Structure 1
């Protein structure tokens, strides 16, 4: 063990001397006295008690209950010996007098906690009018603070009213702009809906020219065999059907774009209407707030409102949102307006193309009809000539037959003469005289004539047959051409008279 520094230890609690080995350490029990070890204690001697001495205070000293110049501020050193049944001890009167370890000795009768000087100082502290002075100063300061507070509140109220008035003006301005955008997009939706109705009507009307073209093609399939040709009219009708299909494709694509644009217009209208509704609510609230004053009867307590809301935005973002909302709506409206221009262009141009193609088809049909009519007239003229020639051939055949009958009579005459001369003349009379040679020559000539006339008759019969056949062909061709004329000139023309005009397409 090491010896501790005596200046840093308590000689009555921590002994500085080391106990020899074998010696026991005994501790005092509660209530026992340390005895004469206390240097402040003195042994009692009879006659030690002196009569009381009168305390003398210097002139001008404060009252006895207030601190005196002779008071010690470090505490009284009380010499307490073994006079009573309590333990003596040194009491340190310091600001830490109430701290555990330095508190005074406690006996069974009382506790000595404060010194007389502390008692007088406490009396001075109690008698000092701190609260009154403080109240007087506080009253002056408070009145000044109240005047400043109400002046500041009036200034703040005026500033807030000015800001609210400016805010109301800004809201009114943007509300008017938003209302213009709402009216514009509403009008655009109505006009686009009307144009969409026109486009749907044009799609329905487009079924009529397609049906007319297909009906004409179907009717022209009823022509007879020689006239089943792919002429210019047929080509134009096929092209007309193709043009109708292309126009329908353009109409349907445009209609799909219109439907998509209508959805975009409605979405833009809903968005701008929401913005308009929000601005109306905000304008109403700010107008009502601007009308409020401290004397209003609508004022209520709303604890916890003096904070920024979670969804609060900045003024820059608000202005950006207002302008962007109107700009987006205007962009959608402009896009819709451009689409309406394309829509009407498609209807007008498509109807004009249909009209031009119909005119081309009608011209081709008219040319075909004109050519067919000329051909039909030529066929009828040819048939007339053929009939006349057929009549001539038939008359010639009758003459040939009469001639053959006459030749037969001549032949029978020659044969009869020759038979009579050959078989009826006797013996030497049956000679080859000149008459016999003449009869033989006549018989040969008659036979040759008969054969020639028979050949002519056969050729006439063949020619008549050919003329009859040609007559049938001519009559068939005339019937075919009349059928074609009936189809092209009557039925197709009657059907194509219902071809819609561009005005009907534009009207929907």
Structure 2
């Protein structure tokens, strides 16, 4: 064991052993000029009998390491070992002190041994030798690698959990947009079905429209069979012509609307195809993301796929995807709204057209009814006039018979007068044939009878002319009555039966 003096020297010689303790400063002494340093061993002392002491048992604590390893009582201060009074060996200096490696501090070598290391240094060397540095590095490397692996696995788990959360959010977002697209697809599909049904109604209305047009044209054609006095362009004729014109206009509107419906149907189908593609893409993407969400490290369907950790050439941004989803739905909704508006216009056209046609049919029926009423009244009046004319003809014929009877009587009187005058003119002889009063009277009577006969003949001619006129008027009346009966038969019977088949607005709406 070293003495306190050695420890103090060691403290002076090794100030770095305990850097936290303040160094003990002693006054330095320097040699004078011409003086030499003494080489005497300060530890040497003269031998004294009885100096040798019995061996002392060294005490080691219970928790002390093996004896070949550093102990707590080992000195690491770098004492300069010296030789005692016993022993011929030269004293040496250790080189494990701060002065190691300096010239003049190497140990003295003799033929027996050298003093180079202390026991503590030997033990420390044993510890250093027994402590495998590669094992420490291996342990450190093992701990580092395990820590790195644990950290990497934890980071990968965190990133995988984050990816799973993002996948769940993405699946939720996809499901939301898929639902929106599916609702839009269902709406446009329903709209296509409804528009197709309304298109069939419009086509049926176009076919039904042929019936009122045929009825109106047949009514006009039937009215051409009226006799010439009734071939007039009356209100009924005007309304029938207007009815044919309205039917033509309604057909034109129907055809234009049908063309618009065909174009809109093409747009609807194109929008449906586009939204179906979008819906199909979202279904496929949702299936892929759901499958990815259900995949784990223990799944048996995972493989290495080199080169997949890169953006595809056709990859789009999330903003563009959301914009595309919104635009796809908005475009489909715009097409559906246009289709709904067109359907509203279509049904309005059908209802308004059928109502206009019904209104025009009522106007035509009213005009026909007024014409029939006027014709019936005229027919009654004509029949009354015909009866009066027949009575007049009978009276004129009686008058003619009376005139003929009177002419016959006048003729007999004329024959009587002529016979008398002949007898007197050619029967009286000679001078007896004189112009007496009787002769003058007979002459005057013959003249008066002649004048009366001529007058009666004139009256007879006038009566016969009047009778002829009355007969002609009778024929005209009878012809006019027949014409009116014909017109009544056409307007009241035949046209009424034909116009009874005119379609109602309900038939157009339910076509």
The 5-angstrom pairing of residues 269-308 of structure 1 reads 269-308=272-311
Q: Deviations over 1:249-274 (max 9, x none)?
A: 11111111111111111111111111
What is the alpha-carbon distance in structure 1 between the residues aligned to residue 285 and residue 412 of structure 2?
134
What is the alpha-carbon distance in structure 2 between the residues aligned to residue 293 and residue 193 of structure 1?
50
Are positions 1:166 and 2:169 aligned together? yes
What is the alpha-carbon distance in structure 2 between the residues aligned to residue 228 and residue 130 of structure 1?
135
Q: Deviations over 1:337-384 (max 9, x none)?
A: 111110000000000000000000000111111111111111111111
The 5-angstrom pairing of residues 196-275 of structure 1 reads 196-275=199-278
Are positions 1:500 and 2:498 aligned together? no
Q: Which of 172, 178, 182 is equivalent to 1:179?
A: 182
What is the alpha-carbon distance in structure 2 between the residues aligned to residue 232 and residue 342 of structure 1?
33
Report SS of the residue matched to 2:324.
Answer: helix
Q: Which of 333, 336, 339 is equivalent to 1:333?
A: 336
Q: 1:490 matched to which residue of 2? A: 493
What is the alpha-carbon distance in structure 2 between the residues aligned to residue 502 and residue 131 of structure 1?
105
Are positions 1:142 and 2:145 aligned together? yes
What is the alpha-carbon distance in structure 2 between the residues aligned to residue 130 and residue 238 of structure 1?
120
Q: Deviations over 1:387-420 (max 9, x none)?
A: 1111111111111111111111101111111111
Q: 1:106 matched to which residue of 2? A: none
What is the alpha-carbon distance in structure 1 between the residues aligned to residue 180 and residue 309 of structure 2?
32
Report SS of the residue matched to 2:225.
Answer: coil
Task: Give structure 1 stretches of 5+ with no counterpart.
Answer: 1-59, 62-128
Q: 1:426 matched to which residue of 2? A: 429
Higher alpha-carbon deviation: 231-240 or 274-283: 274-283
Task: Give structure 2 stretches of 5+ with no counterpart.
Answer: 1-93, 96-131
TM-score, length-scaled by structure 1: 0.73
Q: Deviations over 1:261-291 (max 9, x none)?
A: 1111111111111111111111111111111
Q: 1:416 matched to which residue of 2? A: 419
Q: 1:379 matched to which residue of 2? A: 382
Q: 1:33 matched to which residue of 2? A: none
Q: 1:19 matched to which residue of 2? A: none
Q: CA deviation at 1:139?
A: 4.5
What is the alpha-carbon distance in structure 1 between the residues aligned to residue 288 and residue 133 of structure 2?
51
Report SS of the residue matched to 2:297.
Answer: coil
What is the alpha-carbon distance in structure 1 between the residues aligned to residue 490 and residue 478 of structure 2?
18
What is the alpha-carbon distance in structure 1 between the residues aligned to residue 146 and residue 381 of structure 2?
129
Q: Deviations over 1:412-468 (max 9, x none)?
A: 111111111112112222222221111111111101111101111111111111111
Q: CA deviation at 1:138?
A: 5.1
Q: CA deviation at 1:167?
A: 0.4
Q: CA deviation at 1:227?
A: 0.9
What is the alpha-carbon distance in structure 2 between the residues aligned to residue 308 and residue 338 of structure 1?
44
What is the alpha-carbon distance in structure 2 between the residues aligned to residue 336 and residue 314 of structure 1?
33
What is the alpha-carbon distance in structure 2 between the residues aligned to residue 339 and residue 159 of structure 1?
50
What is the alpha-carbon distance in structure 2 between the residues aligned to residue 273 and residue 459 of structure 1?
100
TM-score, length-scaled by structure 2: 0.72
Root-mean-square deviation over aligned CA pairs: 2.0
